[in-house]
Amino acid sequence: METVLETKAWVRACKVEDIPANGGACVMIDGEQIAIFNFERRGEWYATQNLCPHKQQMVLSRGMIGATKDEPKVACPFHKKNFSLKTGACMGEEDYQLKTYEIKVEGSDVFVGL
Ligand code: FES
């Protein structure tokens, strides 16, 4: 059986000040739009695909962030579907799924793990 090794590269995505506190912004990395969220109230950062899988809109970085039962989430600004920022899973009954990325902050730089 073949073993697939996962290699992850940390890519500098933006500066901390590029992302509004308790909000998000979109960055382009390797031709892909990635939504980065600074959940300052919780002291947490998240990164997901920017594409909402419901109607294929590039909007999630502009979604409102919050939490349901302590699960951090983003609500798509279009039809308000909620997605877990931790797992990317749709929190409604549909099984839409977002890609999520590891994220870290070092000094004033934000890195995304690809
Ligand atoms: S486009 Fe995001 S919920 Fe419909």
> Could you report the per-residue pLDDT of 56-112, keeping only the tens digit for each?
999 999 999 999 999 999 999 999 999 999 999 999 889 999 999 999 999 999 999
For residue 53, what are its two tokens?
């899988």
**Ligand 1 neighbourhood includes 35 CB (under 6 angstroms):** no
Quote the ligand 1 centre to 5 CA distance (angstroms).
Answer: 34
Q: Give the pLDDT confidence score for residue 92 in this predicted structure.
A: 87
**Ligand 1 neighbourhood includes 76 CB (under 6 angstroms):** yes
CA pair distance 51, 70, nearest whole angstrom: 24
Minimal-distance CA residue to ligand 1 atom 4 = 79
Homologous superfamily, domain 10-113: Rieske [2Fe-2S] iron-sulphur domain (2.102.10.10)
Quote the ligand 1 centre to 7 CA distance (angstroms).
Answer: 32
Count other Cβ atoms within 10 Å, centred on residue 58.
Answer: 13
Mean pLDDT across the stretch 26-42?
A: 97
